[in-house]
Structure 1
Amino acid sequence: MKKSDKPVGVFILGDLPPKDIAPVSRQIEKSGFDEIWIAEDCFMISGFASAAIALQATTTIKVGIGAVSNRVRHPAVAAMEAATLAGAFPGRFDSLGVAHGVPSWMKQIGLFPKSVLGALRESVTGIKRLVKGETVSEEGEYSSFENVKLTHAAPDVKVLTAVVGPKSVELSAQIADGMLISVLAGPKYVKAIRDQITQTRKASGLPEHFELVTYVLACVGDDRVAARNKVRDATAFYLQAMGPTMMTGVYGVNDTVEKLLAEDSADLANQIPDDWLDWIAIAGEPADAVKGIKELFAAGATSVVLCIVPSDELPQQVDLIGREVLPHI
């Protein structure tokens, strides 16, 4: 079992059948990982319900939700859900991630806000106040409260944001307890975000500590070339979904990203330059994975969460990484 001063986790993707959440969670814990993170992608699996299943199925591993849309649940309801899990599993559930929500999904259900920053601010600050035990009375543009107070407060719950845009990062530095950094973020981006947030919090007189939970696409195997090829489809999917961002911009490749997306998106996976995989993903043999994880920690990540692809290899890779990677972190 590895020490958790550099916690490494596994991300449970939304395509995992609900019946597999419990056995997969048990395997992740048995293999020596420190954390399980579960996203709530619309119309896939519920973040809170899935976290409850994972927590009940395991005994010591931490479970976090990263992330739920701030528009899908009223902050009072999200705070109640988080506090329930924290109270039922003290010390094991203490992190709730909150995001804007994928725009296309929010539009599908009529919840896309006029101000994404305003909606995020109301949600994060409301949840934080409520889990700490405050009584909240205020009228907001997206969420209002009249003498709302949780019966079961959970002051240890941290509220993190899952954001990418520079204005959202700046807001997060001021109001959140941490950030969930998306896949496609290499060490250079993690360091840039760490430096920006440190500067913002210092200027605002806020405590220096700020969680940077870093998601990373991962494929590990004995055949380095095969493992790197297997991560290409997922990389292409996220590049198409996000387009050029600061995550790729810090590496000076945004023009190339735009060109690749414009030329032939159907063959994007094969067009991604091989050297991009050195920072976009943790892909290759176990030694490559050890190196990649250590680089993310050195850049400022407080935990590294592996988004293992392809999904059907999750059991084998969890076992392999537990045996040949985690003991060396």
Structure 2
Amino acid sequence: MRTSLRLNNDLEPGQLIDLARAAEAAGFDQLWVSHDLMLRSAPVLLGALATSTSRISLGVGIVNPYTMHPAEIAMMASTMQELSGGRFLLGLAAGAADFLGWVGIEQPKPLTAVREALRSLRALLNGGKPLTIEGSGSGWTDQAYLRVPPQPTPIYVGAMSPRMVEFAGAEADGVLALLFPPEHFSTVAAQVSAGAAAAGRSLDGAPDGAGARSLDGSGAGSPGAFDLPACVWLSIDHDQRRAERALAHKLAYYGSAFSPYLLGRAGLSRADFAEVDAALRRGDPEAAADAVTPRMLALGIAGAPDAVIARCASLRDLGARHLSFGPPLGDDPVAAVELLGDTVLPVVRGWNEQ
């Protein structure tokens, strides 16, 4: 059972460094930083984290081929691998259409764009040339290669739609799929397995064809293992109400962005968020949080350590072998990470011995 943290790139560099050090001390295996548009630059932040930590793997979650050309993504990933001593993880996705729209960028054929970018990136980072890779996009010449030593890098695909999840199972080293609710893990796992099977990738480690790799959900992008983290929103606090309040604020802010597909999995609809949306339009975030119902809170995990452990155990029972906790984490993120390290992670590590 692996564990990771996911943090937003709205955090100040000093706070992020404190969180990274706390995560490493707590025993987390990975730390991911988002690269949402118009906030702080995740690659720059990760460079600082690489020099402030020594063991934990560091990932960018995610970059997209619309605002950053795959050649520049490869340059960044290669440099981060050198700087971090091989601890870098690359998250790739199509990006959020709403965010791209802020800067007038359209998002045509997102699955094709991600597929071509992944193939180009893998060729570049492994020391090859994209033009030799079928389906890696057009416009590359024989001069399109990195003038630095090869830096093979695990590539994770950020995915929400079934087709993108299946593609991740077919070609990526891992998938970052937000789970609303967390128990949606079993559906995502089935979609990953379907994509892997169609591509001839084995689920048990036995090769099914040339280049096949295992898909066991427990790896970290290393050869022979596909990483399938159960990516959930978490808020932990000894005070149950305080933990739920932090998650309520998160759900209120992002509620209007949830697709009907996501909400339907939890028995919710856009109409259920009408009161939340109205309060936000009035500029009243507290009233918006008040309008978040217990059913909405079930989209994430919130509570005292025992409640968090119980929900994590349900994910383990569904087959999850990597638990990935994302913000809000709690009123005090560093205290929340330390609380996770003191109470939840020892139990999770104990499951490995059962």
TM-score greater than 0.5 by the shorter chain:
yes
> 2:333 aligned with 1:325, yes or no?
no
Amino acid at match of 1:158: P
Q: TM-score, normalised by structure 2?
A: 0.81
Structure 2 counterpart of 1:273: 293
Ranked by relative contact order (alpha carbons within 8 Å, sequence separation 6 or more), the top structure is 1
Letter paired with 1:66: G
Match of 1:160, SS state, is strand
Distance apart, 1:268 and its partner CA: 5.2
Counterpart for residue 225 of structure 1? 241
Match of 1:154 in 2: 151
In 2, Cα distance between equivalents of 1:128 and 1:302 = 25
RMSD of aligned C-alpha atoms?
2.4
**Structure 1 residue 218: Cα displacement:** 1.3
SS at match of 2:269: helix
- CA drift of 1:276 comes to 4.4
1:99 is aligned, of 67, 73, 93, to 93
The answer (yes or no) to whether the contact 1:260–1:271 under 8 Å persists in 2 is no
* Structure-2 separation of matches of 1:297 and 1:80: 37
Q: Would you say the 8 A contact 2:170–2:198 is kept in 1?
A: no
> TM-score, length-normalised on structure 1?
0.87
Alignment partner, residue 3 of structure 1: none
Is 1:120 aligned with 2:114? yes
C-alpha spacing 1:142/1:241, structure 2 compared with 1 (3 Å) = farther
Cα displacement (A) at 1:185: 3.9
Contact 1:170 1:197 in 2 (8 A): yes
In the TM superposition, residue 56 of structure 1 has moved relative to its aligned partner by 0.9
Whole-angstrom distance in 1 between the partners of 2:259 and 2:253: 10
Residue 319 of structure 1 aligns to a residue in which SS?
helix
Q: How does 1:150-229 map to 2 (within 5 A)?
A: 150=146, 151-155=148-152, 157-182=153-178, 184-187=180-183, 189-208=184-203, 209=215, 210-229=226-245
Measure, in 1, the Cα distance between the counterparts of 2:321 and 2:50: 22
Contact 2:233 2:329 in 1 (8 A): no
Unaligned runs of 5+ in 2: 204-214, 216-225, 280-286, 349-354
Map of 1:47 onto structure 2: 42
Cα pair 1:184 1:235 within 8 Å, conserved = no
Q: Is the 8 A contact 1:36 1:64 kept in 2?
A: yes
Of residues 130-139 and 192-201 in structure 1, the stretch that sits farther from structure 2 once superposed is 130-139
> Structure 1: where are the runs of 5+ without partners?
1-5
Q: 1:225 is aligned with what amino acid?
A: R
Q: Which of the numbers 57, 62, 87 marks the counterpart of 2:57?
A: 62
Shift of residue 262, structure 1, vs aligned partner: 4.1
**Residue of 248, 252, 261 corresponding to 2:263:** 248
Residue among 102, 106, 122 paired with 1:108: 102
2:309 aligned with 1:294, yes or no? Answer: no
Asked if structure 2 preserves the Cα contact closer than 8 Å seen for 1:184 and 1:238, the reply is: no
Note if contact 2:120-2:136 (Cα within 8 Å) is conserved in structure 1.
no
Distance verdict in 2 for CA 1:268–1:184, change over 3 Å: farther
Q: What does the per-residue CA deviation read over 1:184-228, in whole Å, with 9 as the maximum and x for residues that have no partner?
A: 3412x1111111221231132123313222322211111213312
Distance in structure 2 (CA, Å) of the matches to 1:7 and 1:306: 11
2:246 partner letter: K
Structure 1, residues 155-189: CA drift from partner, whole Å, max 9, x if none?
2x1111112122322333323222101253412x1
CA distance in 1, matches of 2:30, 2:199: 31
Percent identity of paired positions between Structure 1 and Structure 2: 26
CA distance in 2: counterparts of 1:232 and 1:216, whole angstroms: 14
| More strand per residue | 1
Give the length in aligned residue pairs: 316
Work out the CA distance in 2 between the residues paired with 1:45 and 1:220.
Answer: 25
- Corresponding residue SS for 1:309: strand
| Residue 78 of structure 1, CA deviation | 0.7
Instruction: Give the Cα separation in 1 of the matches to 2:171 and 2:181.
Output: 22
